Structure 1
Amino acid sequence: MSKRTADAAGDGPLKDRDRPEKMDVDDATKDMGEFEDEFEDEFESEDEILEAGVDGRPDVEREAEEKDAMEVDQGTFIVGRNKLEAGQTLAPDPTTYEMFHSLSTPWPCLSFDVLKDGLGDNRKTYPATMYTVAGTQAETARTGENQLMVMKFSGLSRMNKGDGDESSDDEDDDDDEDADPILESKTIPLKSTTNRVRATQLPSQEAGRPGTTLTATMSESSDVYIHDITPHLDSFDTPGSTVTAQQNKPLSTIRAHKAEGYAVDWSSTVPGKLLTGDNDGLIYVTSRSDGGGFQTDNRPFQGHTGSVEELQWSPSEASVFASASSDGTVRVWDVRSKARKPAITMQVSQHDVNVMSWSRQTSHLLATGADDGTWAVWDLRQWKTSSDSPQPLASFDYHKEQVTSVEWHPTDDSIVAVAAGDNTVTLWDLAVELDDEEAKGGAGVPTDVPPQLLFVHYLKDVKEVHWHPQITGSLVATGEEFSVFRTISV
């Protein structure tokens, strides 16, 4: 980020009342001797003197210096090192973004999920299109004020770098920068605000057709709503298509929880299998039947002494999941256990563990984010018994406010995105190591900025950040508004 001030350096021109009085040249030369023209050898004609300007330099040279003086106060704002002064604001440096768009919704959407689509994987062309689902946080609790929003973002163009930009690998996208972003939405009325929403896609029964897209919404009322949003997604790209009131109704409502919660996750290995956790520390498993209905096991998994803040199914083992809690622990469970107790309990923080992410590429890596601003990476192979006290593979206390979201890159197990209460999204490369000069704290090497920190993105009140699984290196974050961006560093 850049910080900007409006101050300019340099002397201004003389005012009329400040100009010296005219001298009598004859008298002056008697006292000063022979008068020498300092420009006599440099300029041969009056035209050249006029072109040079009042201070003897070409106008272009002088204007360039004045421009530099105006920009002398611009610099990089580093969270934890710099403070904004009165009148200063943060502005993104456009040269660091491949793509950057801000999109607003009627109410803040503090939880969302990115939906996989049928437009292809590893997309790099512009303008880009993506689909998301989000739950609102309306100021009033009146019926209909809060909604589940199914959204289509289109016209997401690359940043306009100006003439002479040769960084693009695509030769056929010369007009990519001219597109305007468009947000289309279909809404489903909800009875209360959304604490967390997650989506899954069931496999299609017909070859060549997209599967059914389901969402699970953890609400402030403690109910969990499961919706089929496939008709809403189809309506974006089918002219004349409408969504009926019946299609807005939930397929199922889970009423097992007696307290509200924030933890929910769909299994990536067992279609339609859902985990939900609440502030009482209880975790329930809901399964989808062959007939398409949902059944919740009324025997909860319990063991946490605080609220369940995050749940994640193992990306490789169908019966295993992990939970993170305000009691500072992460626990690993097996749904086949009759005792309904955790197989492993690990104290990972003295503070609330708010969020967690299980690497899809390397299934023994788990990232956690805590209330003190620290986030860490753990090797689950070291968590063999609850009596062990392994150290994290990496730990960073760069953020000074609570970590609100953490997520591994979908295809690179060294890249992690983190969102925090200091209004920033940070990108990290765990593969970066200190060289000899940096390790010794050489001149010009900042000691309070980890070398693994790749990028800092500012978003007021940011809550969640997610990578797009099909648009290479692109992220979506939500806070006061939605940010859709891709940096040139990832």
Structure 2
Amino acid sequence: MTNLHPTSKANNDEDEESDEDAEDDEEEEDEEKKPQMTFSFIKHQGCVNRIRATNFKNSVLAASWSELGNVSIWNITQQLQAVDEPTLLERYNLDTVSNPVKPLYSFSGHQQEGFGIDWCPTEPGVLATGDCRRDIHIWKPNEGGTWTVDQRPLVGHTSSIEDIQWSPNERNVLATCSVDRTIRIWDTRAAPHKACMLVAENAHEKDVNVLSWNSKEPFIASGGDDGCLHIWDLRQFPTSTPVGTFKHHTAPITSVEWHWTEPSVLASAGEDNQVALWDLAVERDDEEVVDEELKNLPPQLLFIHQGQTDIKELHWHKQIPGVIV
């Protein structure tokens, strides 16, 4: 038996080494499977307050609001191609050291910085921007990669423009919200001082922060500093009464967006570090036995995501319908 003992111990050592090797291999495989982020960048003057992208002709354009009060349009087609191809990315990074990317066009006519910005989805290249002074300017593209910005701002709001949303199906119509607690619907075919067609006065108890225009139904969702989510029917808009009000967030709402294929579904985010998923088609079943802790929650509230802080924006993924970014 004594002769077998060393052999047994050796075998055990070999097994332990084999197990350790297997664990190391698994760790290496797990490391390889971890997602890796590849990025290209553009140096931007001043903090980026908000950015929006669009397809225009054969390019992808991004419009950015700077804290310095300028709005710039960038062609980011090359950057997107570089992200997809490692060799292009390496070359791009080297080139931009000596040749920084410049914007296609910049506008410095706003008197203050701003946050409101949106590309028109039905008229390629048309842009609306709104600043903290209350001014809204409409941009229209020219031949040769420049834009004409109407120097006459749309007149109506009395305080900072917080968000802008173009109509998903009417190319001259847009909605805006403001610190003045109003939501306004505009028709850009009219003269700037007459372009405001509809107003919801006192739309929220405090600042109105964000808007989202439903792509399937005549509804607009709004979120405010009061933590409320309001649903507006454009057919009843002049009454200034929302057709639905949902109170779940305990702090100002920072983002809201309707799902692009499900007209009753939307998501909201707030300074309470929550992302909420809603389905407005859901109604409470009076016969259903509800848990005591859940009975005060709106039945339309499907899901709450917590664990992320300082959530500024959310968007539904256009290729994966069930994913929110």
Structure 2 length-normalised TM: 0.84
1:360 is the counterpart of 2:215: yes
Deviation at 1:472, TM superposition (A): 2.1
1:473 is the counterpart of 2:301: no
CA contact (8 A) 1:311 1:322 kept: yes
1:446 is the counterpart of 2:294: yes
Counterpart in the other structure of 1:406: 256
Counterpart in the other structure of 1:128: none
Deviation at 1:437, TM superposition (A): 2.7
Counterpart in the other structure of 2:39: 185
Paired letter, 2:222: T
1:310 is the counterpart of 2:163: yes
Deviation at 1:240, TM superposition (A): 2.2
Deviation at 1:390, TM superposition (A): 4.4
Q: Distance in 1 between matches of 2:235 and 2:33?
A: 48
Q: Distance in 2 between matches of 1:260 and 1:443?
A: 48
Q: Distance in 1 between matches of 2:323 and 2:239?
A: 36
CA contact (8 A) 2:168 2:215 kept: yes
Of 231-240 and 181-190, deviating more is 231-240
Deviation at 1:181, TM superposition (A): 1.4
Larger fraction in helix: 2
**Pairing partner for 2:75 from 228, 242, 249:** 228
Higher relative contact order (CA 8 A, sep 6+): 1
Paired letter, 1:429: D
Q: Distance in 1 between matches of 2:150 and 2:126?
A: 11
**Pairing partner for 1:284 from 119, 137, 140:** 137
Structure whose alpha-carbon radius of gyration is higher = 1
Counterpart in the other structure of 1:149: none
Of 368-377 and 391-400, deviating more is 391-400
Counterpart in the other structure of 1:238: 85
Aligned residue for 1:234, secondary structure, equals helix
Counterpart in the other structure of 1:215: 62
Deviation at 1:238, TM superposition (A): 3.0
Counterpart in the other structure of 1:457: 305
Classify 1:474/1:247 alpha carbon distance in 2 versus 1 (closer, same or farther; 3 Å): farther
**Pairing partner for 1:195 from 40, 49, 53:** 49
Deviation at 1:225, TM superposition (A): 1.2
Deviation at 1:180, TM superposition (A): 1.4
Aligned residue for 1:400, secondary structure, equals coil
Q: Distance in 1 between matches of 2:159 and 2:171?
A: 26
Q: Render the CA deviation track for 1:183-213: whole Å, top value 9, x for unaligned.
A: 1111111121011111001243xxxxxxx11
Aligned residue for 2:87, secondary structure, equals coil
1:316-331 paired onto structure 2 within 5 Å: 316-331=169-184
Q: Distance in 2 between matches of 1:310 and 1:422?
A: 20
Q: Any gaps of 5 or more consecutive residues in structure 2? A: 1-28
Structure 1 length-normalised TM: 0.56
Deviation at 1:447, TM superposition (A): 2.8
1:231-270 paired onto structure 2 within 5 Å: 231-241=78-88, 242-243=91-92, 244-245=95-96, 246=99, 248-270=101-123
Q: Distance in 2 between matches of 1:394 and 1:416?
A: 13
Q: Render the CA deviation track for 1:443-488: whole Å, top value 9, x for unaligned.
A: 6472321111111112111111111111121111xxxxxxxxxxxx
- 4+ long deviations beyond 3 Å: 244-247, 441-445
**Pairing partner for 1:434 from 260, 284, 287:** 284
Classify 1:240/1:446 alpha carbon distance in 2 versus 1 (closer, same or farther; 3 Å): closer
Q: Render the CA deviation track for 1:264-318: whole Å, top value 9, x for unaligned.
A: 0001011110000001100001111122211111111021111000001111100
CA contact (8 A) 1:231 1:247 kept: no
Paired letter, 2:211: M
Aligned residue for 2:190, secondary structure, equals coil
Q: Distance in 2 between matches of 1:233 and 1:443?
A: 49
1:372 is the counterpart of 2:226: yes
Deviation at 1:321, TM superposition (A): 0.6
CA contact (8 A) 2:134 2:159 kept: yes
Q: Distance in 2 between matches of 1:214 and 1:254?
A: 15
Counterpart in the other structure of 1:85: none
Paired letter, 2:276: T
Counterpart in the other structure of 2:190: 337
- What is the identity percentage for the equivalent residue pairs of Structure 1 and Structure 2? 42
1:20-59 paired onto structure 2 within 5 Å: none
Paired letter, 1:240: T
Q: Render the CA deviation track for 1:310-338: whole Å, top value 9, x for unaligned.
A: 00111110011111001111001111111
Counterpart in the other structure of 2:242: 392
Q: Distance in 2 between matches of 1:462 and 1:339?
A: 34
Aligned residue for 1:184, secondary structure, equals coil
**Pairing partner for 2:206 from 337, 346, 351:** 351
Q: Distance in 2 between matches of 1:184 and 1:230?
A: 15
Q: Distance in 1 between matches of 2:125 and 2:183?
A: 24
Q: Render the CA deviation track for 1:17-46: whole Å, top value 9, x for unaligned.
A: xxxxxxxxxxxxxxxxxxxxxxxxxxxxxx
CA contact (8 A) 1:264 1:274 kept: yes
**Pairing partner for 1:417 from 262, 267, 278:** 267
CA contact (8 A) 2:177 2:208 kept: yes
Aligned residue for 1:240, secondary structure, equals helix
Q: Distance in 2 between matches of 1:251 and 1:398?
A: 43
Aligned residue for 1:250, secondary structure, equals coil
